[in-house]
Structure formats: C-alpha cells, structure tokens
A and B are shown apart, each in its own frame.
Chain A
Amino acid sequence: MIVSIPRFWKIVLGIGLIATLLLGIGLTLSMRDIMYPKGNEISKGEEKKDTNGLPEKNLQIVALGDSLTRGTGDETGKGYVGWLKEELTTGLKKDVYVLNHGINGYGSENILNDLKTKEDIRNSIQKGDIIVLSIGANDLFHAGQEEINPEVIRNRFSVAEGSMVKVLDTLHSLNNRSPILCMGLYNPFSDLSVGKETGALVKEWNNRVMQVVTKYPKMVYVPTEDLFSIQGTKYLSSDHYHPNAEGYKRIGVRMAQVLE
C-alpha cells in the first residue's frame, strides 16, 4: 500500500535487528558463563620471542629488594635505582632501563620466594646487565611495629643471614656475567637514644654481608653506612627511617662510581 519507502529504512531495520540478535546472544552467553562458570585447562599463551627493537647499546638495570629499592621516602620517586640510572645515562652515554622489583616490606624470604616462583623475575635477572639489591633491613628491623631493642635485633642475625645467602646464591646461579651490587645498611636511628647500639649492630651486619659477598666474583658490596653516619637525619625522609631524595642520590651516585 504505502510506497516511496525511503531506502535507508530497511537497511537500518536490518542492521538494528542483526545487532540486537548478536548482542542478545552475547548477553545469554555471558550470563551462562558468569553464573555457571566452569574451569578448564588453560593452555599457556604462545611463547613469543622478545623481539624488541631497542638499540643494542643499552643497559638493563634489574633492581630487587625492599622499600629502599622501591625508593620510599624519595619525594622525586626515583630512589637510589632512579638516581643510579640517571648517573649512568649521563656518564656512559647509553640508554639505561630499569626493572624495579622492589616491594615495600620485603624481607629476604619474600625475595627468595619471588626468585623461585616468578618466572618473569628470574628471566629479567638472567637478562639484566646490572643487578642491584637491597636486603636485610626488614629482616632485622620491624620499623614502626616495635620498640627498637638491640638484643632482639641481634638474635635475628643468623636467620636473616641464612636467607640472604640463599638469595645471593640464587642470583649468582641466574646471572654470573653481570655485576651484582648489594647495598649495605645504614643506621637510621642515629638520633635516637639507642643510636649508638644500633650503629654497632648495623656495622656488624654489614661485615657479615661483606664477607658473604666477597665469595662471589661479580658481586660488590656497596657501603652506605658512612653516608649517613655524621649528619644522618639530614638525609632521612620525614619517617626518620627511609632516606630522602638527597640521601638516595648519594647512594645512587656511589653505585654509579662503583660501576664506571
């Protein structure tokens, strides 16, 4: 009866109906899938070779460790890893990249666990040109959670050292061609009443670390204790525990000096 039907009307109707049908199917499928989920064997995604087209002349830093590695307290967000990268970039005229696996609160057991279970972290260490590590602080101090008691801390030494050795062992087995920089502890409590005693503890711990480190040819112990020993609080952030930007910078610069 009715003529002169505009051409687009039927097209629009058709598209609309098809779209509705498709979306309706999609909705039904997802309702079924979400309300009655069934797990199935997940085939691993295809392993693609890392074909990155980055310049040959680059340097990969892989950082492991706790909040110090993460850079907590550094208002610029760089942490010693970031400052190290900056120093190396200008010093070596190379593109320097950072993979930062540092997690706040990590102790040596956590790091060890990551190294054992997380394939991608192992991978990155194998490929890394420079490995940096901060370890031990959380094994010894439970900052903010307890009163500082030198006796308690000293009692933790042997366990902490045991895990640390395992971490270093694993690192060495993963990568024995690249330098591994192990950051020494500093005494963050120099302004407290127990400052003297903790200073001695830190020294003792660092000595142990140094001794372990020297067993591995590519490993370097980087002391930081001296950097904070005279004007300690000047280089600490507002939490009186982590370094501030200036403090991290000094650590980073020192590491760069070791490498250059």
Chain B
Amino acid sequence: MSNMYHLVMNEIIKLMRKKRLMVVFLILLVLVPIFTYAQLRVTLQTQKQLGTTDWKVALRQQINDTTNRLSSSRIPDEWKQWMKVRVQQQQYYLDHNINPTAPNAVTFTREFMSNSVNLFIPLLIVIIASDLVSGEVTSGTIKLLLTRPIKRWKILTSKLIALLLFVSIVVVLTGGMAYGISGMVFGYGGWTYPVLTGFQLQGETVGTATVHALPQWQYILMEYGLAWYACLAVACISFMVSVLIRSTAAGMGIMVAALIAGTILTNMVSSWESAKYFFMVNLNLTDYLSGTLPPIQGMNLTFSMITLGVWSLLALLISYSVFIRRDVLA
C-alpha cells in the first residue's frame, strides 16, 4: 500500500510540475471575469430597458417573451416543449416570490456550473487527463516507468487516482473562482437564498407536487456533486484515449471533437432516440436538479448516471487490458 502511496505521489508531483493545474487556473482567471462582465451587462441592460431593478418585472418579461415565441410556427416542437416547461417553472418561481437568478456571487456560481457542465469543465478535465499516459510515451519516459519492479496495473492505477483527485480539485476550483471573482461585482451573499428543485416533468407539463426549496449552498453542493460525476466520466474516457493514442495532440483532438459533437447533438437529436446512449449527451446532469427538460425523451438521472458509469467502466477496462499487455515499441 505504501507502494501505491508513493506512486500516486509521483503522479501528482509530475502533474503539478507540468503546470497543468496552473493552465486550468489561468483559463478560469481569464474566462470567469469575462462571463461575470457579460452577466453584469445583461442585468444592467434589462434594468435599463425595464426601468426597474425589480426582478419580478424582469422575470415577467422573460415569461412574456418566451410565451410569445411559442406562438411562432417556425420553432421546432421540441424547443417549444422545452420553452413551455421553462415558462411554467418561471411562473412557479414568480408565484412563490423566489428570484431564480438573484444577483449575487452564489447564484453566479450556480449558474456558471449549470452552463459549463457539458462542455467547458469537461474541456478543463481533458487538459489534465489527455497526456497522462500518452505524454509518457511521447517523451519516452514510459520505458523507465515500466522497467521498475512494479506491476503495470499499479502504475496505471496510480495515474488514475491522481487524475480523480485532480478532477475533484478542478471542479472545486471552478466553483471557488466563479464565486471569488463574480463576488467582486455581485457581492458575496446569497448562501441561504432558496432555490427550487423537484419539478416533475411529464411531457410538457410540470408537476409541482414534489417541488421544494433548498438553501442555495446546499443546492450548489449537490449541483457540483453531479457535475463532478460527469467530469469523472469524461476523465475516464479521456484516460482511455490517452492510453490508446500515442499522440497527445490527437488524443486531445478526439476528446474535444467528441465533447463538441455532444453539445451539437444535444440541440438536435431529440428525434433520434438512441443518441441518448452517447456519453456526451448525458453530461448535463445538473439539468435534472434544476428541472430542465432533458434533450431526449426517456432520459432521467438514473439513466444518465448509468450510461456515464457504463462508459467509464468500459473505458477503464480497455485502458487496463491494453496498458498491461501492450509491447512498448516506440
């Protein structure tokens, strides 16, 4: 066991020295302020248009706008369904006098994760995971690594553990940076503000029997937990690609392409039902918490978690069997 402790230690030291976390940190440091500013502009713009800071007025206008768009015949039915659900939820928030987007750093942190869970955060994970094995192959250090008197599966496991720890760190870091930076603009309060969850979606009707309010801090904890699960799946798959593909650039390209394909599919596949078995369509786990309509009929939390779990396990299975048997030729 002390054996594994030292191996994980090696991997973490290498990851730190490669400055991967630093890259993620810098990306967040640049992008979060941009998103914060964009959010601020939106808020100010609405206020300027409506002449009030009253969120209820703004929310009412949003509901009105969406309702009006629903009457357009050019909008596909799936979008309409999505919008109808949204309107009903917004109305529910309004009826219960709860601002779904109370302007504070905690809300920003919450919204930021729900917007970035399907692409942005997974990309950060790919940055960390994609050269974990292929990097050692390209640099040739794999030869030294595998000529130690240590079983190959242990070496791979140590890399996996280090990766999982870093996934956790990246998810928490994202939340921390979103909170820290947006707080400078929106203020740091809002931890106890209520958020509604538990909407039951049946087609386009929203059941509210099980709706309940959570303090925002708890909601965020839960939301980030879900995002973390999605990130673990991305990490496992990225890990497999890193084992299979020797070129880090190619591996990274494959992962980025898959993730972007996921976001495109999410927007257009509702009529192709079996697309729901793709892992990248299932990354939006946080939607189940907020009650957003999933992209394809028949998707729910259990389904998505199982799908992601199966993909992850298969990815690991392939990674291990290839890594343990493969001749190191390069």
**A-B pairs with beta carbons under 8 Å apart, 15 shown:** A8-B16, A12-B12, A20-B164, A23-B168, A29-B218, A29-B222, A30-B289, A42-B98, A42-B196, A45-B99, A98-B51, A100-B64, A102-B68, A120-B60, A123-B56
Residues of B with C-beta under 8 A to A101: 60, 64
B52 adjacent to chain A (CB < 8 Å): yes
CA distance A119 to B94 in the complex (A): 9
Instruction: Name the segment of B135-143, B209-217, B238-246 touching the other chain.
Output: B209-217
CA distance A72 to B69 in the complex (A): 10
A-B pairs with lowest CB-CB distance, top 9: A26-B225, A97-B51, A16-B165, A27-B225, A30-B222, A19-B168, A37-B210, A104-B71, A23-B228
Cβ contact within 8 Å between A37 and B212 = yes
Cβ contact within 8 Å between A124 and B212 = no
A30 touches which one: B64, B194, B223 (CB < 8 A)? B223
Residues of A with C-beta under 8 A to B68: 67, 70, 72, 102-104
B302 touches which one: A35, A72, A105 (CB < 8 A)? A35
Residues of A with C-beta under 8 A to B171: 19, 23
Query: A78-98: contact bitstring with B at CB < 8 Å (1 yes, 0 no)?
Result: 000000000000000001111
A146 adjacent to chain B (CB < 8 Å): no
Query: A35-63: contact bitstring with B at CB < 8 Å (1 yes, 0 no)?
Result: 10111101111010011111000101000
CA distance A62 to B52 in the complex (A): 13
Q: Which B residues, 179 to 234, have Cβ-Cβ distances below 8 Å to chain A?
A: 193-194, 196-198, 200, 208-214, 218, 221-226, 228-229
Would A19 and B51 be within 8 Å (CB), given that A42-B96, A120-B57 are in contact? no
Residues of B with C-beta under 8 A to A120: 56-57, 59-60, 94
When A and B form their complex, what is the total count of cross-chain residue pairs whose Cβ atoms lie within 8 Å? 179
CA distance A27 to B67 in the complex (A): 34
Residues of A with C-beta under 8 A to B274: none
Cβ contact within 8 Å between B213 and A23 = no
CA distance A121 to B64 in the complex (A): 11
Residues of A with C-beta under 8 A to B49: 97-98
CA distance A9 to B96 in the complex (A): 48
A39 touches which one: B16, B210, B229 (CB < 8 A)? B210
With a 10 A CB-CB cut-off, give which of B208, B213, B225 has the most chain A CB atoms: B225
Cβ contact within 8 Å between B224 and A26 = yes
Known interface pairs A23-B228, A24-B228, A42-B96; 18 further A-B residue pairs with C-beta atoms within 8 A, sorted by A's residue number: A8-B13, A8-B16, A16-B168, A16-B169, A26-B225, A29-B221, A33-B197, A34-B197, A42-B211, A50-B53, A54-B53, A60-B52, A97-B51, A99-B50, A99-B57, A101-B64, A104-B67, A120-B60
B51 touches which one: A6, A17, A37, A58 (CB < 8 A)? A58
Residues of B with C-beta under 8 A to A47: 97
A2 adjacent to chain B (CB < 8 Å): yes
